[in-house]
Amino acid sequence: MTLATTSSEATERARVHYNSQNAQNLYEVIIGSDTLNLGMYEDNPARSIAEAMHKTTEWMAENVQNLNANFRVLDIGSGYGPAARYLAGKYGCHVSCLNISEEQNQKNEALNREKSLTHLIEIVFGNFKDIPFDNASFDLVWSQDALFHTDDPGKVLEEAYRIIKPGGQFLLMDIMQADDCADGALQDALQRVNIHHPRLASFQSYQNQAKTLGFECLNVVDKSEQLLIHY
């Protein structure tokens, strides 16, 4: 596990939250630490939370074009690393996990050892607004339910574009607000889930920022109904 230091108010809040005992209890006791945030229940409404979150990771991987063992992947906001273990275990690709929580990174490292995947997965402490990798380093940048924590999603997309190889892909799943949502309308709800910036990104804002940077949009899928079922 390597270290790259950087900080901002939003980053520090996320770090403190995911290092907290409450967050550890939530994942260890209720959800499971080998999972991520949002599940998919379309073909099985009775699916458990952990199973549904694993299903989301599987579905995301199926949407990557030509994913194979030669891919070098960066998972930004990787949490406990379940996506990295799935990608490395199923596809054999090398995955770098970038994450701001020391507690999650330590658990990630331990789980990788248990699964005998340390040769395919590296863990880097850092902020996805200042990604500590060289230009054109990765075939795929993966982000699963993490960017809603940032107060500057445009900067994260800029960094992702910088470190993706020409022809590479950026796969993003996030909690978003509606394109026509009024400023401040979600403030109370966001603060209840430890998000302290005034608005989330939307489908349109992400697409506009990506196009400006030079990305080509390959696919957009709205899974809003799954968010309601999950919570």
As averages over each run of 10 residues, the pLDDT of the chain (231 residues) reads: 54 60 62 72 88 93 97 96 96 97 92 97 95 97 91 94 98 90 78 69 93 96 89 78
Task: Tell me what pLDDT residue 35 has.
Answer: 64
DSSP letter at 30 equals I
Instruction: Tell me the one-letter amino acid at 63.
Output: N
Beta strands in 33-119 (DSSP E): 72-76, 94-99
Q: What is this structure's pTM?
A: 0.83
> By the 8 A CB rule, do 185 and 219 touch?
no
Q: Is 68 helix (H, G, I), strand (E, B) or coil?
A: coil
Confidence at residue 50, expressed as pLDDT on a 0 to 100 scale: 85
What pLDDT does 88 receive?
A: 98
Contact indicator for 220, 203 with CB cutoff of 8 Å? yes
Which pLDDT score, from 0 to 100, does residue 200 have? Answer: 87
Q: How many of the other CB atoms lie within 10 Å of CB of 27?
A: 20
pLDDT of amino acid 3? 47
At 84 the pLDDT is: 97
91 contacts 121 by C-beta, under 8 angstroms: no
Residue 87 — φ and ψ, nearest 5°?
-65, -45
Query: Residue 2 has what pLDDT?
Result: 55
